[in-house]
Amino acid sequence: MLTNAKKEFIEFMMSADVLRFGQFTTKSGRLSPYFVNTGNYRTGEQISKLGEFYAACIKETLGDNFDAMFGPAYKGIPLVTSAAGALAREYGINKPYFFNRKEAKDHGEGGSLVGYQPKDGDRVIIIEDVITAGTAVRETVPVLKAAADVGISDMFISVNRCEVGKTPGKTAVMEVKDDFGITVHAIVTAKDIHEYLQGKEEYADVLKLMEQYMEQYCVF
């Protein structure tokens, strides 16, 4: 159901040119009529507001029932930073956060992780932008497991594209749950975006393309 909060988030993404309509090749090689690029958030106000949307989703889902927040390089870095700040500011939930370097540093403090150093038994949540094929998760889990014997229970993303992954009939989100035991929570889904566009006459053509795309690649 398209709630006011979801509608507000969709409009926020559109105003920041993060949610775009046209013709885009996704990471999985599919030709998509819409694209979500969180790299287009460019101002302090935007990243602050984005953090608040993530924080609200985390608070509603988990409360403070986790130990640390991880943002995979590169797009996850500003996301986890902003979400951690918003959780502390808006809800008084003060949790450590950390992220990884793509290449390990061989001087100074060394290593591939920056910020909090996870400990055995920690319950870590992942903050990411979108999941299309689940590739990023498959890269992230070994990084975390190599650092400590952590539990990775939940992952928070901006948009669940609801697209089939490597297994017929299963979305990438379903596969992440099956393969790693991680529950993915999205602020909005492809279905929410579709429902939002239904009320906008100027997006009639996009809506048609989106419906064709969803029919071919999405699982609900």
Catalytic residue among 6, 49, 59, 105: 105
The active-site residue, picked from 27, 49, 107, 166, is 107
- Helix, strand, coil percentages (3-state) for the chain, rounded to 5, are 45, 25, 30
Q: Strands 151-160, 123-127: parallel, antiparallel or unpaired by DSSP?
A: parallel
* 105 in catalytic set: yes
- In angstroms, the CA 92 to CA 138 distance is 32
Peptide bond into 217 cis (omega under 30): no
Residue 107 is among the residues annotated as catalytic for this protein: yes
- C-alpha to C-alpha distance for 54 and 58, rounded to whole angstroms: 6
Distance (Å) of CA 164 to CA 50, 97, 130, 198: 27, 31, 14, 23
Catalytic residue annotation: 105, 107
